[in-house]
Structure 1
Amino acid sequence: MRMSRKMEHVRYALDLGASGRNGLKDIRLVHNCLPDASTDSIALSTRIGDLNLSSPIFINAMTGGAAETEAINRELAVVAREKGLAMAVGSQMSALKNKEVAPSYKIVRKMNPDGIVFANLGSEATVDQAREAVDMLEANALQIHLNVMQELIMPEGDRDFRRALERIAAIVERLAVPVIVKEVGFGIMAEGAAKLKAAGVPIVDVAGSGGTNFAAIENARRASSLDWLNDWGHPTSVALLETLTVYEPGSVIASGGIATSEDIVRALCLGASAVGVAGAFLRVLQMDGTEAALRRADELHDGLKLMMTALGASTVPELWRRPVVVGGETAAWCAARGIDTAAYARRGQ
């Protein structure tokens, strides 16, 4: 029996791994020799739009839509429940078209009845489909993912992306829960962010490159590869700085190859309110099991508290006021695009 496309994506994500080129190493944290802080005073809670999260780390959209992926979502939901993390599922369109695979998504709410859960659909979705996806999970928010290049490379992918913004605006206006628009690893740039903000989108996830490369995954599935498109898109650091020229801190999520406490702090210091981690949790879960994934969440939280203490920031909003120096290719990109990175370095003076 042929492996489902959903499981193909999981397999290739694990095989190909993350590129590590999220650009966040270009963000240098400025040491504070007098932080006036204690690890006991660190509060990890955060707010993104109208959503209150107990941790800035959440398990970002990965999978669902096949019987084989139900076990993955079940164990990820256990990690989310035990460690107080929000969790997003993968695209639910397959479950809207085939009710037999709906349990692979519903398992998340079943295992985590009181947690923060994000539903997920593509920009082709209608308002009615958005409502159905949210109802399926009793979701607290809906992610709408933008994956143009993935679809174009995907042999069976979409080729028509007209009126996507119009559909998104209708969903934002008529859905009862907050809407998060996210990329899938190619990055949201300032121009796209401006259109989304004008359409009323309250929260965006910049989802830059550096993590799971969906161009490379779809090329691996093709008989004739378009591998010259594997480097399409922009690093997470660039996407975050671009988007923050349009959206204020408090409404921006960072994701894309983020797997360490240091990268989480770098993204939060730039202005993200929350950080999505996907592939890093999936790899630990699949290789070493649920207990290892639980330990990884603890390690990330412990590292986050340690670094916040060192920087003298007891809350996430306080991280937004700490100075950082932007260098390397990220600084060069920002200079070409007219983004003032020096303002980040002068914070607190």
Structure 2
Amino acid sequence: MHVAVATISRAALAHNLQRVREYVPNCPVMVMLKANAYGHGIVEVAKALADADAFGVARLQEAVTLRKAGFKQRIVLLEGFFCDRELPLICELSLEAVVHQQWQIDALSQATLSQPIRVWLKVDSGMHRLGIPPEAVTPALQQLKLLPHVLADMNMMTHFACADDLSSGMTATQIKSFNTQLKTFKSICPSGEVSLANSAAIVAHKQSHQGWVRPGIMLYGASPMLNGSAEDHQLMPVMSLTSKVMAVRNLKANETVGYGATWSSDKNTRIAVVAIGYGDGYPRHAANGTPVLINGQRCALVGRVSMDMITVDIGLVDVAVGDDVELWGSGLSANEVAASAGTIAYELFCSVTQRVLLRYI
């Protein structure tokens, strides 16, 4: 009896992966499945993207879920391990760990493992969130190279802060910083691999296409660029969030609707009450005027989003109880809805709650 449904298109996932390969035909692809595949369902999305060269996750439990589901692909823990107690399981599951702090190197030096693991050294090229600072990269590589529990073919990576902003010069600066480490890296790890490009860098920064690419949001059909659209990159929306009209009300001029009486009509109109709210993951701070599709026609959100309902000004649009409503998806860009809510498509997708049925087609 689910009213709110998120329909996930496997065909769109496959199409978007193909678009990634068209942007970077010579690069292996590590698809991002963290945060329950950006809210799309980690196991089902992994099945749809099984042709990828590797999976990327943030937390160990996400990797465990994939292994329990039978996936044999390379899996990279992008946040590495949080304590040394995780190392035996990482080893047992043949996972690859990103190392971004000295204490992790120290933990590896003291570990007793049944077999060596593959490590990705993360370089802080300018984001200043996680990563080994440039001046410490060489000693870190040298130390890791000597550890018996680390495979000799180590890899190196970085992450961009502003790749989505074409007006920023920071991405070029970060690439330059990373490239200064490459000569040393290759001298220590001749067969080692590198990875720089996220979704935004895939579509906008060809100089970052040096090794593995790590697409995330573009796989799910939203633009990775500031003020961009999926159509800009020929991406297909993967998630369509839908619900139903549960009531239609007549509203007189100057009457208000919803908590706080934050909106009032300037004329006689009609309001549709839709069974969706922040309890389902619809953004509470979506502004008046945020587009909503009812029977395929654009209408406007009015009044405050509540836990279970929103109200939509339908005017003269022909609407009845039980009619279909699309909050974002194939007919309404998640990027546009996110902009109206002062957020990004990433958060819309990740915020969809367990009350919403995920339906795969």
**Could you say which TM-score interval applies, normalised by the shorter chain?**
0.3 to 0.5
Higher strand share: 2
After TM superposition, the score normalised by the length of structure 1 is 0.42
**Larger relative contact order (Cα-Cα within 8 Å, sequence gap ≥ 6):** 1
Bigger radius of gyration, 1 or 2? Answer: 2
Higher helix share: 1
After TM superposition, the score normalised by the length of structure 2 is 0.40
